[in-house]
Amino acid sequence: MAEPILAVAGLRKRFGGLAVTDDVSFSVAEGGIHAVIGPNGAGKTTLIHQLSGTLRPDAGSIRFAGREVTGMGLPRRARLGLARSFQITSVLPGFSVLENAALAVQARSGSSFRFMRPAAGERALNEQAMAALDQVGLGARAGMMAGVLSHGEKRQLELAIALAMRPRLLLLDEPLAGAGPEETERLIGILLGLKRAYTILLVEHDMQAVFALADRISVLVYGRIIATDAPAAIRADPAVRAAYLGEDEVA
């Protein structure tokens, strides 16, 4: 079997007395969507923070594309092709939609210690940024300020920025968060399209979406992964049902 693109072993993170990541080990194979589900406060975002380098784990190791990345910060991991999106939309509101994506292209296109030439006029950057916007159906908004986009469009822009990085692995933290029914529909369609070309670790609350999208699912409860399996098996797993559907507590 090929080496997984992401391998996590013995990851731990505590906030005070609370073990938010409690000995988490799992791996993500190349291709397709691996979903992480779990109730509110299970530690999903904290896990994404540690995988992306936003937050330093207390213990454990993270290997990405055959490299130990545990000690690297967010920018380094991003340059290696580990792209993350944010549960709470994080774009540049005062930049145009195109420039939001172009900044991500710029980050992987040679040095940015260039002081003379106007960046907005660099065709290579703009073309690749435009391609990323088109991938998520946001091409028509390229000239608008990101701050005036609708919530759903901002979620699309988050995706486009990540795609503009040409990632080897996408870490998506609740890409559907806060989206209305129509927006959700559209975003699921986009993710289905991306699934063919990218490896995605998807944290998501929307169960219907997860079962429609995921090839594999890990279930996180109180900081622990209690199961990792194919969607059908996860749906049938009694421990998962008990923990996640809020029936009797499972020790």
**Which residues are near ligand ATP by CB under 6 A?**
15, 18, 20, 38, 40-46, 87, 205
Give me the least distance between CB of 81 and Mg ion, in Å please. Answer: 23
Instruction: For residue 97, give the DSSP letter.
Output: H
Residues 103-142 that bind other proteins (CB under 8 A): 103-104, 106-108, 111-120, 122
Assess contact for 78 and 69: CB atoms under 8 A. Answer: no
Task: Kindly report the backbone phi and psi dihedral angles of residue 177, in degrees, each rounded to the nearest multiple of 5, phi listed first.
Answer: -55, 125
Assess contact for 229 and 214: CB atoms under 8 A. Answer: no
**Residue whose tokens read 């991991």:** 77
Query: Which of Mg ion, ligand ATP, other proteins, none binds 182 (CB below 5-8 Å, type-dependent)?
Result: none
Q: How far is the C-alpha of 126 from the C-alpha of 15, rounded, in Å?
A: 42
Query: Which of ligand ATP, Mg ion, other proteins, none binds 226 (CB below 5-8 Å, type-dependent)?
Result: none
Nearest Cα residue to 202 out of 240, 168, 171: 171
Q: Which of 20, 98, 165, 187 binds other proteins (CB under 8 A)?
A: 165
Does residue 208 interact with other proteins by CB under 8 A?
A: no
Assess contact for 34 and 202: CB atoms under 8 A. Answer: yes
Query: Which of other proteins, Mg ion, ligand ATP, none binds 69 (CB below 5-8 Å, type-dependent)?
Result: none
Task: Kindly report the backbone phi and psi dihedral angles of residue 182, in degrees, each rounded to the nearest multiple of 5, phi listed first.
Answer: -70, -40
Does residue 79 interact with other proteins by CB under 8 A?
A: yes
Instruction: For residue 95, give the DSSP letter.
Output: S
Give me the least distance between CB of 178 and Mg ion, in Å please. Answer: 12
DSSP 128-156: HHHHHHHHTT-GGGTTSBGGGS-HHHHHH
Residues 41-80 that bind Mg ion (CB under 5 A): 44-45
Give me the least distance between CB of 7 and ligand ATP, in Å please. Answer: 21
Give the nearer residue to ligand ATP in terms of CB position, either 98 or 172: 172
Give me the least distance between CB of 87 and Mg ion, in Å please. Answer: 5
Does residue 74 interact with other proteins by CB under 8 A?
A: yes
**Cross-strand bridge partners of residue 127:** none
User: Where on the chain is the footprint of other proteins (CB under 8 A)?
Assistant: 52, 54, 73-76, 78-79, 83-84, 86, 90-95, 99, 103-104, 106-108, 111-120, 122, 161, 164-165
